[in-house]
Amino acid sequence: MTATVANIDNSQIVTLVLTAVTLPFVAFLINFLLLQKSKVSGWVSTAAILCSAILAVKILIALWNQKPITAQFAWFQIGITRYYAGIWLNNLSVLMLALVPLIALPVHIYSTAYMKHDSGYGRYFTYLSLFCFSMMALVVMRSMLLMYAFWELVGFSSYLLIGFWYTRESAAAANKKAFIMNRIGDIGLLVAIMIIYAMFHTFNMDRIFGEAGLIRKSSINGLVWTTLFEHMSAYWQYVAAAGLFLAVAAKSAQFPLHTWLPDAMEGPTSVSALIHAATMVAAGVFLLGRFLPFFNGTELHILAIVGCLTAFMAATIALTQNDLKRILAYSTISQLGYMVMGIGIEAYPSALMHLVTHAFFKCLLFLVAGIVIHEMKHIKEENNLDIDPQDIRHMGGLRKKLPLTFLVTIIGALALIGLPLTSGYLSKDGILIHSFEWSEDNVNRFAFVPVMAVITTWITAFYVTRMVVKVFFGELQLLKSNPALSLHLTDGGLLYKLPLIFLALCSLFPLFSFNPLSYEHSWLFNGLASNFLVQKNNYHLFVPIIVGLGSVTTMYMAYLSYGKHKWAFPQGGFFNRLSSNEWYIDAFYSRVVVKGVLAFSCALYWFDKNIVDGLVHLLERIGLFLSRVSAWFDKYIVDGLLHTVAAIVEAIGNFARRFQNGKVQYYLYSMLLAVVIVFVLKLLIWS
Partner 1 sequence: MITLTDFMLVSAALFCLGLFVVVSKKNAIQVLIGIELMLNAAILNLVAFGKYDRVNNGGQMFALFAIILAAATTAVALAIILNVYRQYKTIDPDKINRLKD
* Residues at the interface with partner 1 (CB under 8 A): 657, 660-665, 668-669, 672
Residue closer to partner 1 by CB (options 167, 665) is 665
Residue closer to partner 1 by CB (options 565, 657) is 657
Q: Among 593, 577, 585, 591, which Cα is nearest to 333's?
A: 585
- At residue 279, φ and ψ (nearest 5 deg) are -110, -65
Minimum Å distance from CB 667 to partner 1? 8
Q: Rounded CA gap, 201 and 171, in Å?
A: 42
Residue closer to partner 1 by CB (options 487, 668) is 668
Cis before 68 (ω within 30): no
Residue closer to partner 1 by CB (options 377, 663) is 663
Minimum Å distance from CB 687 to partner 1? 21
Minimum Å distance from CB 673 to partner 1? 10
Cis before 24 (ω within 30): no
Residues facing 434 on adjacent strands: none
Amino acid letter, residue 672: L
Residue closer to partner 1 by CB (options 587, 673) is 673
Q: Rounded CA gap, 353 and 432, in Å?
A: 13
Q: Rounded CA gap, 98 and 80, in Å?
A: 37
Strands, sheet with 231-233, edge to edge from the N-terminal-most edge strand: 219-221, 224-226, 231-233
* Separation in Å, CA 658 to CA 66, 378, 654, 678: 118, 110, 7, 22
* Separation in Å, CA 183 to CA 155, 179, 249, 337: 9, 6, 11, 20
Amino acid letter, residue 45: S
* Separation in Å, CA 27 to CA 32, 136, 140: 8, 14, 19
484: helix, strand or coil? coil
Residue closer to partner 1 by CB (options 664, 685) is 664
Residue closer to partner 1 by CB (options 591, 663) is 663
Residue closer to partner 1 by CB (options 221, 661) is 661
Minimum Å distance from CB 660 to partner 1? 6
Minimum Å distance from CB 652 to partner 1? 16
Residue closer to partner 1 by CB (options 117, 657) is 657
Residue closer to partner 1 by CB (options 384, 665) is 665
Residue closer to partner 1 by CB (options 67, 663) is 663
Q: Rounded CA gap, 546 and 134, in Å?
A: 41
Minimum Å distance from CB 657 to partner 1? 8
Residue closer to partner 1 by CB (options 297, 662) is 662
Minimum Å distance from CB 668 to partner 1? 6
Residue closer to partner 1 by CB (options 618, 680) is 680
Residue 256 near residue 305 (C-beta atoms within 8 A) = no
Residue closer to partner 1 by CB (options 631, 676) is 676
DSSP category for residue 609: I
Q: Rounded CA gap, 437 and 303, in Å?
A: 17
Q: Among 21, 26, 7, which Cα is nearest to 87's?
A: 21
Strand stretches in 33-164, DSSP E: 69-78, 81-89
Minimum Å distance from CB 656 to partner 1? 12
CB neighbourhood size of 587 (10 A): 11
CB neighbourhood size of 54 (10 A): 13
Q: Among 316, 312, 310, which Cα is nearest to 284's?
A: 310
Q: Among 258, 263, 259, 321, which Cα is nearest to 284's?
A: 258
* Separation in Å, CA 355 to CA 30, 157, 343, 378, 645: 32, 21, 11, 34, 96
Helix/strand/coil percent split, the chain, to 5: 75, 5, 20
321: helix, strand or coil? coil
Q: Rounded CA gap, 544 and 214, in Å?
A: 39
Q: Rounded CA gap, 347 and 240, in Å?
A: 22
Minimum Å distance from CB 676 to partner 1? 11
Minimum Å distance from CB 672 to partner 1? 7
Residue closer to partner 1 by CB (options 212, 656) is 656
Parallel/antiparallel/unpaired status of strands 219-221 and 231-233: unpaired
Q: Rounded CA gap, 183 and 602, in Å?
A: 22
Minimum Å distance from CB 678 to partner 1? 16
Minimum Å distance from CB 677 to partner 1? 16
